[in-house]
Amino acid sequence: MGNVKLNQPPDRMCVENGNLASPSSGNWRQAVRLCEKRDVERWLTTKALKANGLWRLGKYDEALELCLDVQGASPTDEDTLAAMTYNYRMMSRREQVAPMFEVAVAAKPRDPSLIKELFMCYVRAKHYLKAQQTATKLHKVDPQGGKFIIWAAATMLIQAERKDSSAGVMTLPLAEKMTVKVLQENAANGLRPVGEELRLCLDILNLQGKHREALEALERFEPATGGEASGGSTASAADESRGTIEDESSLENGTIVNMQEAERLELKAELYEKLGGADDLARAEEVVQGLIRRSPDQWSYYVTVLDLMDKRHGLSEAVAGAEAGGITTPEWPASLSAALELIRSLQQEYPKWRGPFLAEMEVFRRAIAWFGSGYTPPAAQEVGGTAPASEPPPPPPPTSSGDEMQQTPPPLVLWGLLCRCISRYMAVFSAKLCCFQDLRPHLTLFAIGIGEGESSGGIEEGLVWLRDFFRREAAESRAEAGATAGDAEREQAPLDQAQREIGVKRLHRYICACQSRHLLGDHTPSKTIPIDNGSSSGVGVAAAAASAGPGDGDDGSGGAEARYRGVVGELTSQYRATLHLNLGSEGGQREVQHGDELVILAAQTLLRLCELYDNVGGGASAPGGDADGGRPDQAKSKGYLGRVEAVCLLEAAMSCSPYNHHLKILAIDVYRQLGSFARALTIFGELDVKQIQMDTLSYLMLGPSLCHGLFGEVQGQCKGIAAVHRSCKNDTAEHVATAFERGNYSKGAEVDRFQREKLDVSLQLALAKAQKVTMDIMLDHQTYTSAARCLQEEERPERGGGATFPGDDWLTGLKENMDYSVQIDRCTVVSKAEEESVGAARTARLQASLKRRLLANQTLLVALKPLRDKGTAAASEAVLREAAEAMGGAAASAKSCRDLLASCPRHVLTLDSGKNGAEGGGKVYQAETPLRSQWLRLVSKTLTDGLVYTAIVLQALGAELPADKKKKSGKGKGKGKGKKAAEPAAGDGGGARLRLQEALSGLGWEVSELLRAMSTTLKSEVSAKGDPARPGETLTKLLKGGLGAEYEPAIGMLWESDGVRWCKESVVPGAVLGVTGSQAICCQRLLSVVTENLAMLQRWEKKGG
């Protein structure tokens, strides 16, 4: 019976025990019957198994009762305990497991496996102090070479890390003594040191600041070199138990894996660095240089060596001092030259590895910070010298115009040396897609300069030199002119492998050059440069500029807009010209396609241009103060069109490259800007965000879903986020125990830390929970009780509740786990400091919004309670305000009112429309007019914005639809995927309404519902007030204007994602790319109609409000 593992489900145990029939067949009913047989029925094990069967059959109460019954009998045998453990986990009553084992251990105090299980229970429950005591008890019963002493020490370390109040000052010194003793005894017995035990010892020492002792321990317990440990046939009994790993069975009692040499050296260097004396730093440097020689491609080693050098020679310190008017600039240390020498020799030895080449750049980049960019390092000729003779890459083949474009090499000062490195790196690695990303930090240095002060001297020259360099690189690597024309020919004569490779390399070099030009501000002007005043028809200018080619944009002919357009034209034409290089899916691979980066660059350029348009009329940045009144609208229209163009580009690229998530993420963002949620949602679905990604990536869609009124989606996602976190919490607890079992203590501590420092304090989780409460309250008042319960949970003391709910400590302790790195931005130059401050501001913003949300939730619940309880029309905004004030604090009143009103009470509206769902509180809400109208005003803006965008996209695409497709889609519309399609508005027919419904079917059911209700409400309100402006009609007109009859067939196409299919079908990107002049005019006309309607609506609102 003793061979049953506790983590095995009882159904397997049944088979193993052979006493019972196997319930693994799923026949739980039969299993329960078997458990009821007379001779076995009274056994505790049988009862525990029966409880399992009952639970599976859905007889929860009976099952639980039986479990409590078994527990009451204080079982001590492993089988019963295992089955009970399993049962309690299944019933989500994990907290009941430990008490059960406590009783068992009390009954059998010398049973090591029971005590061990109790230890694991405590670890899972995070009762580390109790775990520690249990481990000590275990050691007394079963010494096992001090293994359980190590367990105790490891739990003490975790307590210290957690700052558990019970973990006093004495904990760590005691843990230290215990660990060292075990290590010593084992060493004396000739046992190989276990890496994890040694690591634990170092962690305990380091946490006390005893780095010297840690270093000593590391050296003292150094593994025996040579064949000693492997023992051979004469190995002692001890050696056999912890000798060489023979197979799986050698590891049954936990790890005996020794520390690997590289890891040991890394730890050694780290400890020397922590000690920090000059000698120590020199030692550390020596160790790391040795590591570099062993693994010349390990970037972290180079970083460490340079950090050490900085510290040892006080370089950064001296710079800071010099700036403060103190000490003079530091001197170039000899060891830096030595390091360079090593790096250069490694470059020769490993000419294909990026490591040594990047390391040299890193040296110069740092040196610029230390010595100034114009500094000439000692023996500059040597340092900067010409490329070594053995350098593999041949210089790029000169183009016809190559001779005139010869660039003079930069001077042998630091910035010049860095430029030389960059150019050499391009020569060697430009065919790799990551080349730009590798160069980015160095290019950024030139792009942002180094700030004020003398040290920036030369940076500007460097920028000029680099711009020139990359311009030449781009020109040399462009696909040949007229490539687009030759598409048909090319298809007939497919490329051979070699040609393709050359083409791809060339393309990658071009991409890298373009990305670099972007970053260096050579492609597009900075955001502050206004767009050209004279361009009345942007598109026309675009066409002209597109033919001008890249690098010519600065001749002042087209101004900013033309220049942006020129860049986009050039990038897209190069994209088209190189499409034939792609292989598509081959050999089961799903690669991203070679030219995708060009589309990303083009789309981002367009988006930048759109931002410029957006700012027109926004005040300060408007170009030409005397612009006439229509000008801002025109610019706005161009902004929409630019986004449409960007999204078309991305769609076209996605159809050629369906597995590139960068394209998808960018497209989601543009669709969000356009107010197109259905398609954005589909693309987000393709990303297949799940599991832990719910925490890191759902921000991509959560925000947009909310502002687009996809409340069901929001609710679902919030639920998903909370669910992932809930299961993670169990999983991490479980695996801290696994780590102990396997002897991987450092990982146990790490998993515990991960849960505590990342998952528990996830801002996304807190936001999702709060959002979900809002949604629950708003969307379904039946869930009032559950929402209230949720909120109460939030108020628990550990959540910072109480008088100052939500507690500021709790709020500011929340951290963003969102992974923003997936949103690549090739254009923006950001310094590290800027990035950090932007990040901090964003976090603060999210925290503040969480706070408002929580307050709003609470206010709302208080306000809704009387409504619910009384079921009368007593509630009003006054009630709400009262409640808010009762909450205390000004923040909780007006602001939270607004917040909660903005949270879209769908049921208020549905009930209000009076057609269905008039159960219970329907009348209550109907009478509550002020609340509703205030809310309506708040959402109407978002909504109408979305519709305006929608209309413009439709126009832009619709005008290009082939005639036959129009018909086809006209018939097919309305069928669509239709998952969220709106139900037809009962009793309110008419063409306009129908069209509206069609259009809205893609917007998500909630929004269409919302609009319908909005329209009804406006009508009724107006008729009550007798307003002559007849806003109901205005609204219809607005929508009708946006979705004009002539474009009716296009509606279904785009918004039931057929428009997207159209993009895919006519995949010749050329057809999708340009928005023609006539379309632009159409859109502008449309826009004026819509704006007019909007203005009318606003006027009415002013009157009516």
**Chain residues 71-130 in contact with other proteins, contact rule CB under 8 A:** none
- Pick out residues in 216-245 that bind other proteins (CB under 8 A): 244-245
Are 1101 and 688 a contacting pair, CB within 8 Å? no
Taking CB under 8 A as the rule, which mask of x and - marks residues 827-866 in contact with other proteins? ----------------------------------------
Angstrom distance (rounded) from CA 796 to CA 447: 50
Are 705 and 713 a contacting pair, CB within 8 Å? yes
Give min distance, CB of 728 to other proteins, in A.
5
Give min distance, CB of 412 to other proteins, in A.
25
Pick between residue 627 and residue 822 the one whose CB is nearest to other proteins.
Answer: 822
> Which segment (79-87, 136-144, 598-606, 819-827) binds other proteins by CB under 8 A?
819-827
- Pick out residues in 1020-1039 that bind other proteins (CB under 8 A): none
Q: How many residues does the chain have?
A: 1105
- DSSP string spanning 943-997? HHHHHHHHHHHHHHHHTT--HHHHHHHHHHTTTSS-TTPPPPPTT--SHHHHHHH
**The two three-digit tokens of residue 52, written as one number:** 């399992």
Closest by Cα among 643, 496, 700, 636 to 953: 643
Query: What Å distances lie between residue 817 and 690, 701, 714, 763, 1056, CA to CA?
Result: 15, 15, 19, 7, 34
- Pick out residues in 739-758 that bind other proteins (CB under 8 A): 739, 742, 744, 746-748, 750-751, 753-754, 758
Are 599 and 575 a contacting pair, CB within 8 Å? yes
Pick between residue 201 and residue 359 the one whose CB is nearest to other proteins.
Answer: 359
Torsion sign (Cα): 191, 194, 197, 198: positive
Give min distance, CB of 362 to other proteins, in A.
8
Angstrom distance (rounded) from CA 373 to CA 768: 48
Taking CB under 8 A as the rule, which mask of x and - marks residues 653-672 in contact with other proteins? ------xxx-----------
Pick between residue 221 and residue 684 the one whose CB is nearest to other proteins.
Answer: 684
**The two three-digit tokens of residue 549, written as one number:** 């080619």
Q: Which helix H or strand E contains 852, and what residues bound it?
A: helix 832-870
- Pick out residues in 953-1012 that bind other proteins (CB under 8 A): none
> Which segment (588-596, 774-782, 906-914, 1001-1009) binds other proteins by CB under 8 A?
588-596
Pick between residue 739 and residue 777 the one whose CB is nearest to other proteins.
Answer: 739
- Pick out residues in 457-486 that bind other proteins (CB under 8 A): none
Enumerate the β-bridge partners of residue 762. Answer: 815
- Pick out residues in 414-453 that bind other proteins (CB under 8 A): 432-434, 437-438, 440-441
Are 1034 and 940 a contacting pair, CB within 8 Å? no
Give min distance, CB of 161 to other proteins, in A.
14
**Does 611 contact other proteins by CB under 8 A?**
no
Closest by Cα among 998, 1007, 1093, 1087 to 1050: 998
Give min distance, CB of 364 to other proteins, in A.
15
Pick between residue 282 and residue 733 the one whose CB is nearest to other proteins.
Answer: 733
Among 19, 136, 738, 1020, binds other proteins (CB under 8 A): 738
Pick between residue 260 and residue 1078 the one whose CB is nearest to other proteins.
Answer: 260
Helices 1048-1055 + 1058-1065 axis angle, to 10? 90
**The two three-digit tokens of residue 30, written as one number:** 């039969």
- Pick out residues in 799-818 that bind other proteins (CB under 8 A): 817
Are 976 and 1005 a contacting pair, CB within 8 Å? no
Are 1002 and 946 a contacting pair, CB within 8 Å? no
User: Which alpha helices (DSSP H) does 487-537 contain, by range?
Assistant: 487-492, 497-519
> Which segment (156-164, 464-472, 534-542, 584-592) binds other proteins by CB under 8 A?
584-592
Among 590, 870, 971, 1103, binds other proteins (CB under 8 A): 590
Enumerate the β-bridge partners of residue 924. Answer: none
Query: What Å distances lie between residue 173 and 87, 132, 210, 728, CA to CA?
Result: 40, 15, 10, 33
Are 1072 and 651 a contacting pair, CB within 8 Å? yes
Residue 770 CB: number of other CB atoms within 10 A?
Answer: 24
Are 6 and 87 a contacting pair, CB within 8 Å? no
Among 491, 589, 619, 620, binds other proteins (CB under 8 A): 589
> Which segment (135-143, 156-164, 291-299, 410-418) binds other proteins by CB under 8 A?
291-299
- Pick out residues in 292-351 that bind other proteins (CB under 8 A): 295, 297-300
| Tokens 């309100």 -> residue | 1021
Give min distance, CB of 556 to other proteins, in A.
36
**Does 760 contact other proteins by CB under 8 A?**
no
Angstrom distance (rounded) from CA 331 to CA 1053: 69
Taking CB under 8 A as the rule, which mask of x and - marks residues 764-803 in contact with other proteins? ----------------------------------------
**The two three-digit tokens of residue 1025, written as one number:** 């007030």
Query: What Å distances lie between residue 464 and 459, 470, 761, CA to CA?
Result: 9, 10, 47
**Does 378 contact other proteins by CB under 8 A?**
no
Give min distance, CB of 250 to other proteins, in A.
9
Among 6, 40, 90, 257, binds other proteins (CB under 8 A): 257
Pick between residue 441 and residue 917 the one whose CB is nearest to other proteins.
Answer: 441
Among 246, 403, 404, 628, binds other proteins (CB under 8 A): 246
Pick between residue 441 and residue 453 the one whose CB is nearest to other proteins.
Answer: 441
Pick between residue 117 and residue 741 the one whose CB is nearest to other proteins.
Answer: 741
Give min distance, CB of 438 to other proteins, in A.
7
Give min distance, CB of 729 to other proteins, in A.
10
786-794 contacts, C-beta under 8 A, 24 or more apart: 787/857, 787/861, 788/861, 791/854, 791/857, 791/858, 791/861, 794/769, 794/770, 794/854
Give min distance, CB of 246 to other proteins, in A.
7
Give min distance, CB of 730 to other proteins, in A.
9
**Does 260 contact other proteins by CB under 8 A?**
yes
Give min distance, CB of 602 to other proteins, in A.
18
Pick between residue 57 and residue 592 the one whose CB is nearest to other proteins.
Answer: 592
Among 247, 403, 628, 809, binds other proteins (CB under 8 A): 247
Residues 6+ away with beta carbon under 8 Å from 580: 487, 490, 491, 495
- Pick out residues in 355-374 that bind other proteins (CB under 8 A): 355, 357-359, 362
Among 734, 780, 885, 1092, binds other proteins (CB under 8 A): 734
User: Which alpha helices (DSSP H) does 430-558 contain, by range?
Assistant: 435-448, 459-477, 487-492, 497-519, 538-546
Pick between residue 265 and residue 318 the one whose CB is nearest to other proteins.
Answer: 265
- Pick out residues in 672-731 that bind other proteins (CB under 8 A): 687-688, 690-693, 695-697, 727-728, 731
Give min distance, CB of 661 to other proteins, in A.
4
- Give, in degrees to the nearest 5, the angle at Cα 192 between 191 and 193: 110
How many residues touch other proteins under the rule CB under 8 A: the total is 71
Give min distance, CB of 226 to other proteins, in A.
14
Give min distance, CB of 35 to other proteins, in A.
29
* Max Cα distance, the chain (Å): 106
**Does 353 contact other proteins by CB under 8 A?**
yes
Are 507 and 473 a contacting pair, CB within 8 Å? no
Give min distance, CB of 693 to other proteins, in A.
6
Pick between residue 320 and residue 838 the one whose CB is nearest to other proteins.
Answer: 838
